[in-house]
Structure 1
Amino acid sequence: MPPPAPAGSLLRPDLRIFQVFGANTDVGKTIWTTILCRASNCDTETTTWYLKPVSTGPANAADAKHLRTYAPGVVSETLFQYDLAVSPHLAARVSNRPTPSDQALIRSVRDFAMGCIPSGSGWLFIETAGGVHSPGPAGSTQADLYMPLRLPVILIGDHKLGGISLSISAFESLRMRGYDIVAVLLFEGEEYKNHEYLTDYFRRHHAVHLGVIPSPPLMDSGPQAMEHYYQEVSSQKQVAAVVTLLREYHDNRIRRLREMAVISCEKIWFPFTQHGTLLSEDVTVIDSAYEDHFQTLATQSNPALQAQGVLRPTFDGSASWWTQGLGHGNPKLALAAAYAASRYGHVTFAQAVHEPALTLAEMLLDGLQNPRLTRVFFSDNGSTGVEVAVKMALRATCNRYGWGTSKDVEVLGLRGSYHGDTIGAMDCSEPNTFNEKVEWYSGRGLWLEYPTVQCANGQWVVELPPIMAPGGTKSIEFRSLSEIFNVKRRKGQLQELYVRYILDTLGHSNNLTRKFGALLLEPIVLGAGGMALVDPLFQRTLVEVVRQRGVLFSNSEPTGYPPNEPRDKNDWCGLPVIFDEVFTGLYRLGHFSAASFLGVHPDISVHAKLLTGGLLPLAVTVASEGIFKEFDGVDKSDALLHGHSYTAHPVGCQVALESVRTMRKMESERKWDWASGQDNGWAEDLDGQADFKDHNGSAKCPHVWSVWSAEFVKWLSKQKSTPSKRVKGAWALGSILAIHLDPDQGTVGYESNAAAGIKNALLQANGLEDGIAWNVHSRALGNVFYVMASQVTSKESIDRLEFLMRSFFSGN
């Protein structure tokens, strides 16, 4: 059996669930909740529940006991009671019981809520302990602890001295974490009159309802005085207004979620979507997201799912189009964004600098460990970052070879590679489905065939395209993926075959008259072109050949110095080499840079996607000093005239700093050892990893590993049960799993529907695990199905996904 599914958001049409937070301890959370319980539990068709997940102090003074005393018709419960009246993390530490993990506590809350069965409609109020940031039993502050449930919040403000600041700070802490705060409630507080200021503040700045009631009697006034207070206050108009507000919020939320798909099909133009065949039921409605999961609207046609609530956890199988690195709703990234937004907003970057951009530039240059790279240029997305890189490279090549501002200069690349959807980036790819009907598209390049790597029938192979092995062996077997990445392979017949193919292609008479300005590669993995894992030996060889054969690209006498003799060891020769690491960089494949697998340093490197951990758009194009110097001069037109209104926007740079710093720390603290070690099957043949050396020095071939188990990849590669489940090959590296299926009816590439069956099956998964229904949202690339984990995905999540895919391919 797989590990238990994650506990998702709590939303039921028949149960209005609200979470009560306090701006501080002793602000009246329990009293206000008691009043709301009494006011909501006012007729025979309504049932109200009260839950205190964690309570500290003597049981005879517990909040649930107070509810049972003063709201006798309400079902009251406490999940974890600790006798010591201190913070829950301290109380749990000194108790003789095991401390529940955050996940266990959340699951217990969810189980309780799903066990509430109202006869008609019902209410559930969940009261927290202490203030917003009071720690839970395991030490996480409650604001972070309860994020997975995404419950709408009632915030009890502080009526005492200092309460204005505490109430506003608590509100902002919750908002920054994505909580919907439906109402702020507090006592009148005759002495300090906090309610007067806060009423105006919240209505004017946040359009949030603020409810005020008289303060309760003193604690030693006795039960009769307390009961009289509850009777009097619970029937007041301001309390009835709050109950009405909560009811309307809940009903409107349900209604809006259920109509969003239909309305979106009328108002939205979706990317990469053929609207001519789109049905509203094909649209996934996302209410929120946390870590690796969306909270999505469950289908209304399945009673089993509806019994589990309106929402269900849905694994983000594309890592939100390859951007998600540190989990959805990451508080650290949100805080970094808030800090920069308030400190800078956005400031110009033309001849100006700010700390987040400068520090990020320094950090990236240090992390890339590329002695060639010295300059960081900021843009807003990967496609634009590639266009900047091409601009840089073409200028350098045209200057060196004396071509002037040549309009017919092209790029070298690999067939099937794809570098983005803007017109310039499209022109760097061969004709394909993405660009064949784009009017201004004009492919400007020569694209080479390449050998691919996959596990086929349980055996790791390098498969050669027919042009490299006509009539000969088309696949070469290896013991493991590590052996394929072993740099000892450099000297051998296969590399000689690669060199011959590359030289024959470049030296073809039709190519000798063409002008090439750059070698543009996606290192190791071609992403949008079909998740192709390229033989690293071929890409390394291609870079070496291009750098050693500058005479193939000059087409004239070079100006100043020979094309094969760089001005210094870190200068480019032959052609500038651009690595498009928008997809593969920043730990996507398990290491900071995908270039480290090849042992060669590019002259220009492009990074985006994981740069900000999935929170904001940002890209960098990192270039060598030699490339940079090609734009020096006295004329303004000689400069790199490229920029965006939001170039190096401080919010994105600050978030990127936090993201990159966090991932580097995860690597240094060996957070991925569970995946990279022997237990996951990727630690084989490590002794065979040799050092490679080139003119830039020496380095060690990186360890090859994946969060997906090696045994699972081999099992997948053997599946042939039905035509729709016939696996041609599979591979996994870092966070990526790719399954290549035999094409349907001979259709290959993006237009194939071969992988649609897996995609739809995982999306429509209706199984229940531990009372929780969950599924997988994913994307397919024609006959290639892939699943992407984030850099914080747990082993339990991977095990659960592997179990689900095993069930699909096994027909269970």
Structure 2
Amino acid sequence: MRQVGSVLWPKLRVLQVYGANTGVGKTIFSSLLCRAFQKRLPSVNYLKPVSTGPLDEADDHHIATLDTGVNSKCLFQFNDPVSPHLAVRSAGRPITDATVLAAVYDELSKHANGQDGISIVETAGGVLSPTPSGSSQADLYRPLRLPTLLVGDHNLGGIGTTISAWESLHMRGYDVHSVALFSEDRGVDRYGNFAYLRDYFQDRSVTAFSIPPPPPRNVNVEEDHQAMQEYYEQSAEHRDVMAFTERFLASHDKRIAEIRSMPEEAEKAIWHPFLQHTERSKDTIMAWDSAYGDYFQSYTTTQQTEQNSPADPEPSLLKPAFDGSASWWTQGLGHGNPTLALTAAYAAGRYGHVMFAGSIHKPALDLAQTLIEKSGNSRLKKVFYTDNGSTGMEVAVKMGLRASLMRYKPENPRDLDIRILGLKNSYHGDTIGTMDCSEPSIFNEKVEWYKGRGIWLDFPTVKMREGRWLVEPFEGAPFNTKYFHSLSDLFDFHQRHRDWDAYKRYLRETISDAVKQGDNIRLGSVIIEPIILGAGGMLFADPLYQRCLVEVAREFYEPNSTTSNGDGNGNGGDWTSMPIIFDEVFTGLYRLGRFSAASFLGLQPDIVVNAKLLTGGLLPLCTTTASDAIFSAFLSPSKTDALLHGHSYTAHPIGCAVANESLKQLQNLERAGAWESFKDDWSPRAFSYGVSYQGSEHAWSMWSWRFVSALSHKRNVDNVFALGSVLAISLKDVEGGGSGGGYASTAATGVRDALLRGEGSVGVDNSVVHSRVLGNVLYLMAAMTTTEETISGIEERVLEVLDG
């Protein structure tokens, strides 16, 4: 599989010609531009990807007849003079967007022969006209993101169609360099189209020009041919056409200069997060030119020494880079998603930003109701909006601790030593409050105001090693390594009653001993990242252990507490003991294959925080959803008892609207069975050796279980796990003296760098893999829309790199 992405060759310029409508003169403009560029460049090519109608009337035939010296070609020709999506049915041969894109890319690659030249790619019909597959042209060609000339509509009503066409391209991330159109009546702007559009686009930094239309068709073929030849010669010399060619050639050089200079300029001006800048240089900074689907379109100075393939003697400056971190775990519906972009544009046009204090708008109300309804948690009733996971968790901590203090009712709350109960290696964000909810680590050890207000427990971890799923105990745990036939068996808690009892006994004793260490210690809230602890090292916690922790916390002695009934949710109505906070910023909203990560544990926490996938990777937004009991802890006649937290962009309508659309698309994927093949691959029946599974829905991953099993046998891999779209590979840290190494380890950087260089499956795919590491752990993450074919290609590369 070859990944087709945006291209930028140093010597080959590419111009795509779109039309605001059919019959506006795209082929005429393409032909005269071929003539104009022939006066400046030695090589001029014309490409028509899709054409319908008789061959002798085809656009490439017209170009070949009238433009000598132009290499013209049509890739997909249909005889029926109808829309491509209809013509392809008559032809009886389905053609996918990927097929058209690959053909266009291959043809352009042939043109990139190291010689100065230009390729003009003419589309068919209007901007949103159907393609052979039925998609719109603007979406079909978007992965290439070619510089564009829009041929405007010179007819009556053409102002509106031209502006609409430009907006459709602009909203999808195209760079429209100019808008060109015919003057309606032999140079007279009869309808005023050009004058209006010139001013309209000037305000948007887009130039517009017009030229006289071609002469009327002559019934005499030879005379008609001669008249068109003369028209093209004259039009190619038109001052506005010449000015456009100069601007376009200059813009190509400027684009290259900018993308080449960005890493060096960034080194001077940018302070990057989570990076020691003594290790950074202009050669290690990647520049993103754009992104689409699963891929960045990337530039680095180091990748330019290699060629893409033997068929591509002049390498493109841009390479597709698989977004292996899902853009810090936010990406779920593909970059450049046109529906999300259109949703954001609508909300921006309808609202812009409106303040949220004491008011409501429909996007925020709809989102809150969806989260409450779809959570599967009958406790959750109120949604509080913030902008990111860290601040959302900050709010959750404020909620939980206030509710606990309302139960303790101390005379002076500051006399109590309120502690968070959580797991080691947790990470809940970088705000001051959330930092104090994590144990001392590399993230906070140099932060002077960090205090660490918690009791943090060791926990057993889930992993696959040498083909076997296991739960590995921590040092000093009162249990041994446990093995399982399948990942789903590990989630079948009813078959693990002995583990259940052992975990609860251990947790009761450990928590009790910790509380007794001080006279005024009180437990304020339990905070956990359900299933996977992300930034702390991509650690897969034994889900039964996490469930037992919540059960013990809810039964743990506190003033006026009730006793748990064993289902993990208490029997005291909506409130039992200390608040349970689930940090689902990373693991929620289908990242692990389900809407709620809490559902894996069979628990109903009191507070849940969601972000990351909430807006499909487009905008920052976070929700903290709480129970009525938590909400009631802030009710009183005094304003000072309210939850005095917020920011100017609280519940911004654009983010809420995009979140609604994002959740809709994710739920549609689930309803449509988009992940059924992944689920079938991970079905316990496929590899459980006859062991029956009693669970209602088994655990599954988008990464194939054969791949995961193969990884677990690699000599340099200590262990691996996969769940939902997440894959984590723990490399053996030889220099560190063992299998671990922690966040400061560099054991995984070699694999990361090899994937970024494009090692593995060289010659099959022209892309690279961009990934992140957490110490000795290299993790990869797919979007929820990533195809099996794409994932299979990434799997192949990873295996080859590890073998190397």
Distance 2:571 2:356 in 1: 31
Residue 487 in 1 paired to residue 493 in 2? yes
Counting only pairs closer than 5 Å after superposition, residues 316-715 of structure 1 correspond to structure 2 as: 316-403=323-410, 406-407=413-414, 408-469=417-478, 474-492=480-498, 494-508=499-513, 509-510=516-517, 513-549=520-556, 551=557, 554=558, 558=559, 561-562=560-561, 564=563, 569-678=572-681, 688-690=692-694, 700=696, 702-715=697-710
TM-score by length of 2: 0.94
Residue of structure 2 in register with 1:302 after alignment: 306
Q: Using the TM superposition, give the Cα deviation of residue 500 of structure 1 relative to its aligned residue in structure 2, in angstroms.
A: 2.2
Distance 1:207 1:405 in 2: 63
> Which secondary structure does the structure 1 equivalent of 2:482 belong to?
strand
Q: Using the TM superposition, give the Cα deviation of residue 689 of structure 1 relative to its aligned residue in structure 2, in angstroms.
A: 4.2
Residue of structure 2 in register with 1:697 after alignment: none
Distance 2:9 2:683 in 1: 39
Distance 2:34 2:786 in 1: 39
Distance 2:335 2:320 in 1: 13
Label 1:262 to 1:310 Cα distance change in 2 as closer, same or farther (>3 A).
Answer: same
Distance 1:756 1:176 in 2: 37
Residue of structure 1 in register with 2:212 after alignment: 214
Q: Using the TM superposition, give the Cα deviation of residue 567 of structure 1 relative to its aligned residue in structure 2, in angstroms.
A: 11
Residue 176 in 1 paired to residue 171 in 2? yes
String of CA shifts for 1:504-559, please: whole Å, max 9, x gaps: 2111131564111100000000000000101111001111111111x2xx4xxx3x
Label 1:740 to 1:226 Cα distance change in 2 as closer, same or farther (>3 A).
Answer: same
8 Å contact from structure 2 (residues 683, 698) kept in 1 = no
Counting only pairs closer than 5 Å after superposition, residues 1-12 of structure 1 correspond to structure 2 as: 4-12=1-9
8 Å contact from structure 1 (residues 326, 790) kept in 2 = yes
Distance 1:158 1:426 in 2: 58
8 Å contact from structure 2 (residues 504, 549) kept in 1 = yes
Residue 52 in 1 paired to residue 48 in 2? yes
Whichever residue aligns with residue 726 of structure 2, its letter is I
Residue of structure 2 in register with 1:696 after alignment: none
Residue 783 in 1 paired to residue 786 in 2? no
Match of 1:23 among 9, 13, 20: 20
Whichever residue aligns with residue 507 of structure 2, its letter is I
Q: Which moved more, 1:268-277 or 1:188-197?
A: 188-197
Q: Using the TM superposition, give the Cα deviation of residue 120 of structure 1 relative to its aligned residue in structure 2, in angstroms.
A: 3.0
Whichever residue aligns with residue 130 of structure 1, its letter is G
Q: Using the TM superposition, give the Cα deviation of residue 369 of structure 1 relative to its aligned residue in structure 2, in angstroms.
A: 0.9
String of CA shifts for 1:271-324, please: whole Å, max 9, x gaps: 111111212111111111111011111522224577331111110000000000
8 Å contact from structure 2 (residues 112, 314) kept in 1 = no
Residue of structure 2 in register with 1:75 after alignment: 71
Residue of structure 2 in register with 1:695 after alignment: none
String of CA shifts for 1:16-61, please: whole Å, max 9, x gaps: 0010000000001111111111000125x51100000001111101
Q: Using the TM superposition, give the Cα deviation of residue 568 of structure 1 relative to its aligned residue in structure 2, in angstroms.
A: 7.2
String of CA shifts for 1:597-617, please: whole Å, max 9, x gaps: 000110000000000000000
8 Å contact from structure 1 (residues 680, 708) kept in 2 = no
String of CA shifts for 1:172-215, please: whole Å, max 9, x gaps: 000000001111111112321200110111002x0111121111
Q: Using the TM superposition, give the Cα deviation of residue 339 of structure 1 relative to its aligned residue in structure 2, in angstroms.
A: 0.5
Label 1:594 to 1:117 Cα distance change in 2 as closer, same or farther (>3 A).
Answer: closer
Whichever residue aligns with residue 192 of structure 2, its letter is K
Whichever residue aligns with residue 798 of structure 2, its letter is M
Residue of structure 2 in register with 1:723 after alignment: none
8 Å contact from structure 2 (residues 555, 561) kept in 1 = no
Q: Using the TM superposition, give the Cα deviation of residue 447 of structure 1 relative to its aligned residue in structure 2, in angstroms.
A: 0.4
For structure 2, which runs of at least 5 residues remain unmatched after alignment?
A: none
Distance 1:354 1:406 in 2: 37
8 Å contact from structure 2 (residues 682, 700) kept in 1 = no
Q: Which moved more, 1:566-575 or 1:77-86?
A: 566-575
Count of residues in Structure 1 that have an aligned counterpart in Structure 2: 779
8 Å contact from structure 2 (residues 682, 699) kept in 1 = no
Distance 1:401 1:626 in 2: 15
Whichever residue aligns with residue 14 of structure 1, its letter is K
Label 1:211 to 1:467 Cα distance change in 2 as closer, same or farther (>3 A).
Answer: same
8 Å contact from structure 1 (residues 143, 174) kept in 2 = yes
8 Å contact from structure 1 (residues 680, 710) kept in 2 = no
Residue of structure 1 in register with 2:259 after alignment: 257
Distance 1:242 1:768 in 2: 42
Distance 1:548 1:383 in 2: 29
Label 1:436 to 1:634 Cα distance change in 2 as closer, same or farther (>3 A).
Answer: same
Label 1:567 to 1:669 Cα distance change in 2 as closer, same or farther (>3 A).
Answer: closer
String of CA shifts for 1:377-400, please: whole Å, max 9, x gaps: 111000111011110010110001
Match of 1:116 among 91, 111, 114: 111
8 Å contact from structure 1 (residues 312, 772) kept in 2 = no
Residue 745 in 1 paired to residue 727 in 2? no
Distance 2:242 2:684 in 1: 61
8 Å contact from structure 1 (residues 728, 742) kept in 2 = yes
Distance 1:212 1:409 in 2: 73
> Which secondary structure does the structure 1 equivalent of 2:165 belong to?
helix
Residue of structure 2 in register with 1:804 after alignment: 797
For structure 1, which runs of at least 5 residues remain unmatched after alignment?
A: 692-699, 721-725
String of CA shifts for 1:649-680, please: whole Å, max 9, x gaps: 00000000000011111111111011110478
Counting only pairs closer than 5 Å after superposition, residues 147-296 of structure 1 correspond to structure 2 as: 147-189=142-184, 190=188, 191-204=190-203, 206-220=204-218, 222-296=224-298
String of CA shifts for 1:675-717, please: whole Å, max 9, x gaps: 11047878555984446xxxxxxxx4x3200011112111111
Label 1:194 to 1:642 Cα distance change in 2 as closer, same or farther (>3 A).
Answer: same
Distance 2:378 2:686 in 1: 29
Q: Using the TM superposition, give the Cα deviation of residue 403 of structure 1 relative to its aligned residue in structure 2, in angstroms.
A: 2.8
Distance 1:503 1:512 in 2: 18
Label 1:118 to 1:750 Cα distance change in 2 as closer, same or farther (>3 A).
Answer: closer
Q: Using the TM superposition, give the Cα deviation of residue 769 of structure 1 relative to its aligned residue in structure 2, in angstroms.
A: 5.7
8 Å contact from structure 1 (residues 674, 680) kept in 2 = no
String of CA shifts for 1:552-590, please: whole Å, max 9, x gaps: xx4xxx3xx445599975422121000000000001111
